[in-house]
A and B are shown apart, each in its own frame.
Chain A
Amino acid sequence: MGSESDMYVIIAGAGKVGWNLARELIAKDREVTLIESNHDRFRVVEQELEHAVQYGDASELWVLERAGIQRADLVIAVTGDDEDNILISQVAKEKYGVQRIVARVNNPRNLTHFKMLGIQPAVSATDLILRLIEHEVPEYGLVQLLALEEEHLEIIELEVLEGSLAVGKQVQEIALPDGALVISVLRSGRGFVPKPDSVIAAGDQVLLILDPGLENQITTLFASSAAGASA
């Protein structure tokens, strides 16, 4: 694998994602080969990237071998076709022993297939955009901003509701379950990292990092006005 600078990366698919990624990696002095199967697109990209882009179907084994997959440290499958991305990743990992794989999921409903076939990380742009939109639309309640599935951690955001247990309390007084931590508070358009004695107010947006599965307990503390009455 060597140092970061002599890392060799193969990117399948010269769409918006693949082309920009190749550009950024080349700017950081990485050795990159981009593979594109559409001839017109290939010629456009070749104008800029020259020998760093190759024409061919990256799910053909000889095309991967021509690109030097045997010595690749990282393969990124970002074509517009989920089956192609799964196959390229699977072959790279299992046939050629590539250490690191990143695959793009075009249709979020296919994510389960990527997972079942052991293709991780699988990145879904649609899912990421949905999360960002949910973040902007407060009615969503608890929003999962980031899921680190391998590490079993997630970052969530939720709005503190009037009458919930956390309102008016210092952060250290809130009985958070083990495995949960308040990492920032967004209030009137500004964000800050709370201290143990920072006081939570109704209308705050709080970000927490937690073990997946604790969402309901967190909602009870921060976003359930009935909790105070029944406690």
Chain B
Amino acid sequence: MFILIVGCGRVGSAVAKRALDAGHEVSVMDIDPLSHERLDRDQTSTWEDAGGQFTVGTALEVDGLIAAGIERADVFMAATSGDNTNLVISQIAQRRFQVPKVVVRVADPARAAWYAEQGLRTICPTQVAIEQAEQMLLTL
């Protein structure tokens, strides 16, 4: 599969590395060129050496998305730090570029729930933390 991940933070970079290790073709895009360091295996082997692709750009710029390979992506993941950015770009991926599988990270449980009802595959880390905390605190 060809996987495009926008947002190279803790989640985006970790998922990218795992997907590459699993034998997929992976392209990562981030506004910050320095975020690339999160993808490098160690001092001597870079992300590109391992076969990964990295593009600097903002995801609302369609040219950047195209350079990052969105037109042939099988999977798209929006994992920037902005909920609204993630929700907008994942809809662009879905409706404009018809990417078959779109996954979007949304920190706010309310927005995550409503957009999930609208057909987006949302991941809400906050909701997971709430449920885990609830379980740890309330079950002895």
**A33 in the interface (beta carbon within 8 A):** no
**B134 in the interface (beta carbon within 8 A):** no
Size of the chain B interface, CB-CB below 8 angstroms: 18
Produce 1/0 per residue, B34-50, CB < 8 A to A: 00000000000000000
Docked complex: A58-98 residues within 8 A CB-CB of B: 59-62, 81-84, 86-87, 91, 94-95
Check A116–B95 contact: CB distance below 8 A.
Answer: yes
A109-B61, A113-B92, A117-B91 are contacts. A81–B110 as well, Cβ < 8 Å? no
**A126 in the interface (beta carbon within 8 A):** no
Size of the chain A interface, CB-CB below 8 angstroms: 20
**A110 in the interface (beta carbon within 8 A):** yes
Across the two chains, which residue of chain A brings its CB closest to B63? A109
Contacts of B66 in A (CB 8 A): none
Check A91–B83 contact: CB distance below 8 A.
Answer: no
Check B110–A83 contact: CB distance below 8 A.
Answer: no
Across the two chains, which residue of chain B brings its CB closest to A91? B114
Contacts of A82 in B (CB 8 A): 60, 88
**A112 in the interface (beta carbon within 8 A):** yes
A59-B111, A61-B114, A62-B110 are contacts. A110–B84 as well, Cβ < 8 Å? no
Could you say which of A61, A81, A109, A117 contacts B84, with CB atoms under 8 Å apart?
A: A81
Could you say which of B83, B88, B110 contacts A113, with CB atoms under 8 Å apart?
A: B88
Interface of B is mostly: helix
Task: Determine the distance from Cα of A126 to Cα of B134 in the docked complex, in whole angstroms.
Answer: 49
A110-B60, A113-B60, A116-B95 are contacts. A83–B88 as well, Cβ < 8 Å? yes
Could you say which of A83, A91, A107, A109 contacts B85, with CB atoms under 8 Å apart?
A: A83
Tell me how far the C-beta of A189 lies from the nearest C-beta in chain B, rounded to whole angstroms: 42
**B33 in the interface (beta carbon within 8 A):** no
Task: Determine the distance from Cα of A109 to Cα of B92 in the docked complex, in whole angstroms.
Answer: 14
Produce 1/0 per residue, B109-140, CB < 8 A to A: 01100100010000000000000000000000
Across the two chains, which residue of chain A brings its CB closest to B82? A83
Check B60–A60 contact: CB distance below 8 A.
Answer: no
Tell me how far the C-beta of B110 lies from the nearest C-beta in chain A, rounded to whole angstroms: 4
Most chain B CB within 10 A, of A83, A91, A116, is at A83
Task: Determine the distance from Cα of A117 to Cα of B95 in the docked complex, in whole angstroms.
Answer: 9
Contacts of A86 in B (CB 8 A): 84, 88
Contacts of B91 in A (CB 8 A): 117
Contacts of A83 in B (CB 8 A): 60, 82, 84-85, 87-88
Contacts of B110 in A (CB 8 A): 60-62
Across the two chains, which residue of chain A brings its CB closest to B92? A113
A60-B108, A61-B111 are contacts. A84–B84 as well, Cβ < 8 Å? yes
Q: Which residues of B contact A (CB under 8 A)?
A: 60-62, 82-85, 87-88, 91-92, 95-96, 108, 110-111, 114, 118
Q: Which residues of A contact B (CB under 8 A)?
A: 59-62, 81-84, 86-87, 91, 94-95, 107, 109-110, 112-113, 116-117
The 7 A-B residue pairs with the shortest CB-CB distance, nearest first, are A83-B84, A87-B84, A61-B110, A83-B85, A83-B88, A84-B84, A86-B88
Q: A83-B60, A86-B88, A113-B92 given. 4 additional CB < 8 A pairs?
A: A81-B84, A86-B84, A87-B84, A109-B61
